[in-house]
Amino acid sequence: MDAYKGYHQIQMAEEDEEKTAFHTSQGVFCYTKMPFGLKNAGATYQRLVDAAFEKQVGRNLEVYVDDLVIKSHTEEEIVRDIEETFNTLRKINMKLNPKKCTFGATEGMFLGYLIEPDGIKACPDKTDAVVQLPSPRTLKEAQSLNGKLAGLNRFLSKSADKSLPLFKTLKKCVKKGDFRWTTEAEEAFMQLKQAIASLPKLVAPQPGEELIVYLSATHGAISAVLLTDRNSVQTPVYFVSKALRKTEINYTAMEKLVLALVFAAKRLRRYFQAHPIAVITDQPIKQVISTPEASGRLRKWSVLLGEYNISYRPRTANKGQILADFIVEKPEEEPVPPINKGTLEQPWILFTDGSSCTDGSGAGLILTNPEGMEFTYALRFEFTATNNEAEYEALLAGLRIANRMGVRNLEANVDSHLVANHVLGEYIAKEENMIQYLAKAKALIQDFDRFTIKQVPRGENKKADALSKIASTSFAHLSKQVLVEMLKDKSISESEVATVTEEVEPTWMTPIIEFINEGNLPQDKNEARRIRRLAQRFEVRDGILYRRSFLQPWLRCVGPLQANYVLREIHEGSCSMHSGPRSVVARALRSGYYWPTMHHDARELIKKCHDCQIHRPIPRRPQHELSPITTPWPFYKWGIDIAGPFPAAAGGLKFLIVVVDYFTKWIEAKAVATITGNQVKRFVWDNIVCRFGLPGEIISDNGKQFRDNPFKDWCEQLHIKQHFASVTHPQTNGQVERANRSLGEGMKARLDKHKGRWVDELSHVLWAHRTTIKVSNGDTPFSLVYGTEAVIPAEIGMPTIRTAEINVATNDDDRRVDLDLLEERRERAAIREEKSKSKMKGYYDARVRHLSFRPGDFVYRQNDSSRVEDTGKLGPKWEGPYEVIESLGKGAYKLRDTNGQELQRTWNVGNLKRCYL
């Protein structure tokens, strides 16, 4: 079907109509429907049809711009599909051109291809044009021929390889006169005509169907064919081919073959993403791209191919004539013999002998390959060993070396009857060390495909015997061609370390190892794709998984238990300094370990490390919002504290009891010789109750003068509510703490060398504070208490208007007016103070790093506050842990120790830190 004037059926946006304006003799006009000439008209139309037929495309409809093809299997289905398509066309108001529409056709042309029920053929007009084309005589005719061939590449097997002679005629043709049509090009053109005359029919793959890929690489081109196997017949889906560049021609034959697979994956990306791919080849492509010694470009290609679900299978009998071009995968000049895994290699011969004497112990071994080349090896033991233990150590060393050299078939010869008969099972090992040596030997023997051992006379083992005797005394007489090693510990002691970090359950490495060794993948497609992608950077060696690294060639992969052991050893082991997570992870990587959650695991481990927690720096930023203290009226809420000791004054006065009213900022203070509960009680009665009335609340620290009797009982009798600050958190009673500091600074400034006269200066400093304007409320404490400002000595020495023009007759009335206006003055002061506190709270809270606890959480206390542990230079900054049993609000908590004993006092969040167990 074909849309009728398709572009003109799309309405232009009203704001864009003027952009299509044009002049005519009748006036200026613009388009209201999208014209053909716009640059993005085709893309806009394609987006329209893609959105309109979104539910049908790929299922029963294919659409390209204004061409639509409905595809159905039966007559009933086509009627249903046509009805569905027409309903969509009516919905978007799109019209069809009936002259270009055909219904019920079993075959037809679409996008230059002949579509048939059983496949896709090349357009006959295109093939006839090439077959009937005469040989090119000019450069333009040769270029036209290449263009025609490019349209048939999908159907033509190894098109680039067959067209190479044609490409050579176009090289270095700068001018038309440079063109030369060669005999080689003529022969290639005739072969192409024969191939094009009988192009194969291509089929479309079914959803999820496995597709087969055959590869071919010649000196100048690479090719691939994508097929599907139906009814035991392989039919082509797509042919791809590429002529190699100058640098690519120098690739090895195997690299060209891998490049062919990479090119096919890029060119046929849709097929590779939607279908499992089986590469049929006799070449070891998988081993080449996954080997650790692979070149840079092979590693790059390995990562690229890891995105797809690709499996590799050996070549079997060809099931289609179309594969004749792909029988030879690689150039004949570089044949690679196929790897026959079923044939066991020739055996390697191992001779071992151990020696023990008073001068020391040692071992010697000789390993001979099937070609007769000998490898000599000598060991000297730095531990005491019996003769039987030395024989076992020699055998174990030989087994380890042979295994690392990739030997699969080994024949061992020893001169010890005991060792040979132990391994053969004829003797029973009874001693504990012999049992362990035998178990170690059997474990190493399991790595070989075939292993035999026999006892030989000492005369047939002279070389190994001589090596062992020399090694047991000194290495000085050994030839430089002999490999030597110092063995510090017995082989059976290694198992004690290995058992500590043995993984039992499946880990994150299990699916990767299974995929690399056996090709097994999870059922879930997304997970399988992830495993294939990850496996490109991993390699299994001696049963251990390694990962390619940017820092080192290979990193050993470890499971959760092994990772925990590595982190603990690096973080808190003998050669550690309790570093941070990034430093620990970097050290683990440089030591050669890897697992996916390295940084997360290191951060969690360090977060729970007790030593790191108790020595962690104390945070300086506030951890809870500021809680301003407010009072409803004057003299209701007071703060009380004890300052001192000061230098002894007359009467032995050394301490100062200070109280401050939170509303008026009025300060009362009294010097005392001792600080007892009775002294505090008498002070509050004389200086607060008798002057300003009973207070409602008193805030103090946790001193026993305030918490214990008689002051506690006296407050309860008068219904005075007591509030106590948290331990070492004087900010709770900050008003009186600030008053203490101000009084001390004021008295210190007034004193000279006579420090004992501080009591005489106290009244002067108190008077100065009471008559000083406070920034928070803009008034003096005196004015908020008495309704007027006090007369200061300066006004007597130098009179002001207030003192010079005082009216004694009306002074009493003026004072009474001031008292009537006192409430208004206090209200204004309260409003200003609230505004000041709000501004201060905003500034303070902006720096807060929120921290809170719930009952059941464990915390540490600051050691400087609790003084439980040594507070010296090397002492801990925190001590604990303690359990939170109650949250009192405003950052205060009640705690209990690990023995269940509740702490008497409350603790503020500023002195606490979360404990991770």
CATH number at residue 132: 3.10.20.370
Q: Please report which helix (H) or strand (E) contains residue 882, including its range.
A: strand 878-889
Among the listed residues 534, 538, 539, 503, the one whose alpha carbon sits nearest the alpha carbon of residue 521: 534
The pLDDT score that the predictor gives to residue 18 is 85
Claim to verify: residue 757 and residue 791 sit in the same structural domain = no
Residue type, 753: K
**Tokens 């921290």 found at:** 851
The C-alpha angle with vertex 443 and arms to 437 and 445, in degrees rounded to 5, equals 100
CATH of residue 710: 3.30.420.10
Parts of the chain with a pLDDT under 50: 319-321, 332-343, 475-481, 495-500
Residue 827 within any structural domain of the chain = yes
The pLDDT score that the predictor gives to residue 329 is 54
What's the pLDDT tens digit per position in 683-697? Answer: 999 989 988 889 999
Buried b (16+ CB within 10 A) or exposed e, 873-911: eeebbbbbbbbbeebeeebbbbbeeeeeeebeebbbbbb
| Rounded Cα distance, 317 and 787, in Å | 114
Cβ contact 705:642 at 8 Å: yes
Cα–Cα distances in angstroms (integers) from residue 365 to residues 402, 465, 467, 479, in the given order: 11, 8, 7, 14
| Rounded Cα distance, 233 and 210, in Å | 14
> Is beta strand 27-29 parallel, antiparallel or unpaired with respect to 892-896?
unpaired
How many Cα atoms sit within 13 Å of 879 on the Cβ side? 13
Residue 331 within any structural domain of the chain = no
E strands, 305-359, in order: 310-313, 348-357
> Is beta strand 233-243 parallel, antiparallel or unpaired with respect to 119-122?
unpaired
Claim to verify: residue 513 and residue 584 sit in the same structural domain = yes
Tokens representing residue 589 in the block? 């990587």
Tokens representing residue 342 in the block? 């079923």
Cβ contact 653:672 at 8 Å: yes
| Cis bond before residue 136 (omega within 30° of 0) | no
Number of structural domains the chain divides into:
7
Residue 663 within any structural domain of the chain = yes
What's the pLDDT tens digit per position in 595-621? Answer: 999 999 999 888 888 888 888 888 888
What does the radius of gyration of the chain's CA atoms come to, in whole angstroms?
48
The pLDDT score that the predictor gives to residue 5 is 67
Residues 6+ apart with CB under 8 A from 100: 1, 2
Query: Coil, strand or helix: which one is 902?
Result: strand
Residue 111 within any structural domain of the chain = no
Cβ contact 62:83 at 8 Å: no
Residue 117 within any structural domain of the chain = no
Tell me 60's DSSP state.
Answer: T
Tokens representing residue 85 in the block? 């398509």
Claim to verify: residue 761 and residue 780 sit in the same structural domain = no
Q: In whole numbers, what is the pLDDT of the chain averaged over residues?
A: 82
Tokens representing residue 190 in the block? 């005739």
| Rounded Cα distance, 513 and 543, in Å | 9
Taking the C-alpha atoms of 120, 126, 128 and 129 in order, what is their torsion angle to the nearest 10 degrees? -170
Cα–Cα distances in angstroms (integers) from residue 867 to residues 870, 878, 882, 908, in the given order: 7, 10, 15, 16
Claim to verify: residue 166 and residue 303 sit in the same structural domain = yes
Residue 335 within any structural domain of the chain = no
The pLDDT score that the predictor gives to residue 3 is 81
The C-alpha angle with vertex 99 and arms to 97 and 100, in degrees rounded to 5, equals 70
| Rounded Cα distance, 825 and 831, in Å | 10
The pLDDT score that the predictor gives to residue 28 is 92
Claim to verify: residue 791 and residue 682 sit in the same structural domain = no
Claim to verify: residue 183 and residue 304 sit in the same structural domain = yes
Cβ contact 513:547 at 8 Å: no
Q: What share of the chain is helix, strand, coil (3-state, %, to 5)?
A: 40, 20, 40
| Rounded Cα distance, 777 and 783, in Å | 11
Claim to verify: residue 720 and residue 739 sit in the same structural domain = yes
Tell me 689's DSSP state.
Answer: I
Tokens representing residue 578 in the block? 């309790």
| Rounded Cα distance, 60 and 658, in Å | 93
The pLDDT score that the predictor gives to residue 341 is 40
Claim to verify: residue 408 and residue 514 sit in the same structural domain = no
| Rounded Cα distance, 600 and 623, in Å | 25
Among the listed residues 48, 21, 42, 43, the one whose alpha carbon sits nearest the alpha carbon of residue 32: 21
Residue 342 within any structural domain of the chain = no
Among the listed residues 712, 695, 715, the one whose alpha carbon sits nearest the alpha carbon of residue 703: 712
| Rounded Cα distance, 433 and 410, in Å | 25
User: Please, is 457 exposed, middle or buried when counting C-beta atoms within 10 Å of its C-beta (0-12, 13-18, 19+)?
Assistant: exposed
| Rounded Cα distance, 82 and 220, in Å | 49
Claim to verify: residue 428 and residue 444 sit in the same structural domain = yes
Cβ contact 285:246 at 8 Å: no
| Rounded Cα distance, 221 and 160, in Å | 6
Range of the domain at 669: 637-765
> Is beta strand 310-313 parallel, antiparallel or unpaired with respect to 348-357?
unpaired
Claim to verify: residue 709 and residue 730 sit in the same structural domain = yes
CATH of residue 569: 1.10.340.70
Residue at which a domain ends, from 847, 866, 894: 847
Residue 411 within any structural domain of the chain = yes
Claim to verify: residue 299 and residue 156 sit in the same structural domain = yes
Claim to verify: residue 165 and residue 254 sit in the same structural domain = yes
What's the pLDDT tens digit per position in 763-803? Answer: 888 888 888 888 888 888 988 888 888 888 887 778 887 77
The pLDDT score that the predictor gives to residue 495 is 44
